[in-house]
């Protein structure tokens, strides 16, 4: 696991001194203030997107006997806990929005396997955290020429190198080794994903409402996914 704490007291004192200076020193110009405000706005958008994405991903593992995605006592995993995990992995890996969206596309392609995981006894799909991590690793491999080593992913996630390799092999098999996501396919996926996240945003704003709209969203996405699969896959 990565050590995110300062290494010694001098670093702590330096950090505290730096914080005090920031608190008592006003912005040197209006331009700097605007830049800071813009960064804060972007951070809010990213945080909001990750929250909605976490709910969307967990919907694949949702207990079909429960009506609420936000029932932390009966669902397989606490949504807030999963969101913290997702946020930390994305932060440590310095993942881009593109990387996250492609990882979610792989998860979406796996949804039928995820629903049948108890029948097939596919251990690689039992844990939402592990499955997301492997899909993120595969997304990095598809999108970028230079990638983290298994050792680096082990440090990022806390899993052993051997477990990561085994999970990756099993999930690749479930995906039929097809990681391709050309421009046309990605554009359709982005549109469907944004539609789903917009409806999830409304659910988050009113957690006491039922999840009928989300169920309809997932159903419509599943139907549209058949159209995506019909798109001729070409190498980008």
Per-residue model confidence as pLDDT tens digits over 11-50: 434 434 444 444 344 454 555 555 566 666 667 778 888 9
Is residue 91 predicted with pLDDT exceeding 90? yes
DSSP H helices in 144-211: 150-157, 161-174, 183-205
Alpha carbon distance 236, 146 (integer Å): 17
CATH topology of domain 41-230: Cyclin A; domain 1 (1.10.472)
Q: Supply 234's token pair.
A: 């070409």
Q: Pull the structure tokens for residue 155.
A: 């440090």
Give the whole-angstrom CA distance, residue 223 versus residue 217.
10
| C-alpha span between 109 and 218 (Å, rounded) | 13
Contact 89, 56 (CB under 8 A): no
For residues 125-147, give the mean pLDDT: 93
CA–CA distance, 66 with 1 (Å, rounded to integer): 34
**What does the pLDDT read at residue 221?**
52
pTM here is: 0.68
The pLDDT, as a whole number, for residue 133 is: 96
Least confident of 20-34, 51-65, 158-172, 199-213: 20-34
For residue 208, the model assigns a pLDDT of: 44
- Around Cβ 40, how many Cβ atoms within 10 Å? 10
Give pLDDT, residue 176: 93
Q: What is the pLDDT of residue 225?
A: 53
Say how far apart CA 168 and CA 151 lie, in whole Å: 14
Q: What is the mean pLDDT of the chain?
A: 75
Secondary structure (3-state) at 7: coil
3-state secondary structure of 199: helix
Q: What percent of the chain has pLDDT over 70?
A: 62
CB atoms closer than 10 angstroms to residue 138: 18
Mean pLDDT of 77-96: 89
- pLDDT score for 61: 86
At 60, is the pLDDT very low, low, confident or very high (cuts 50, 70, 90)?
confident
Output 38 or 183, whichever has higher pLDDT.
Answer: 183
């Amino acid at each position: 696991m990565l050590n995110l704490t300062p290494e010694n007291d001098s670093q702590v004192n330096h950090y505290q001194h730096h914080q005090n200076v920031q608190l008592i020193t006003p912005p040197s110009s209006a331009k700097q203030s605007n830049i800071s405000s813009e960064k804060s706005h972007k951070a809010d958008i990213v945080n909001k997107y990750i929250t909605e994405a976490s709910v969307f991903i967990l919907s694949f593992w949702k207990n079909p006997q429960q009506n609420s995605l936000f029932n932390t006592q009966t669902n397989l995993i606490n949504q807030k806990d999963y969101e913290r995990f997702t946020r930390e992995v994305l932060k440590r890996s310095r993942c881009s929005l593109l990387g996250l969206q492609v990882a979610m596309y792989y998860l979406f392609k796996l949804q039928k396997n995820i629903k049948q995981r108890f029948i097939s006894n596919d251990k690689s799909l039992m844990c939402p955290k592990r499955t997301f991590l492997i899909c993120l690793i595969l997304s990095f491999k598809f999108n970028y020429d230079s990638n983290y080593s298994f050792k680096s992913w082990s440090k990022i996630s806390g899993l052993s190198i051997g477990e990561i390799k085994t999970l990756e092999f099993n999930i690749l098999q479930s995906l039929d080794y097809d990681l391709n996501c050309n421009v046309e396919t990605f554009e359709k996926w982005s549109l469907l994903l944004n539609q789903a996240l917009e409806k999830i945003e409304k659910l988050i704003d009113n957690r006491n409402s039922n999840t009928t709209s989300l169920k309809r969203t997932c159903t419509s996405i599943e139907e549209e996914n058949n159209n995506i699969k019909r798109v001729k896959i070409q190498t980008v």
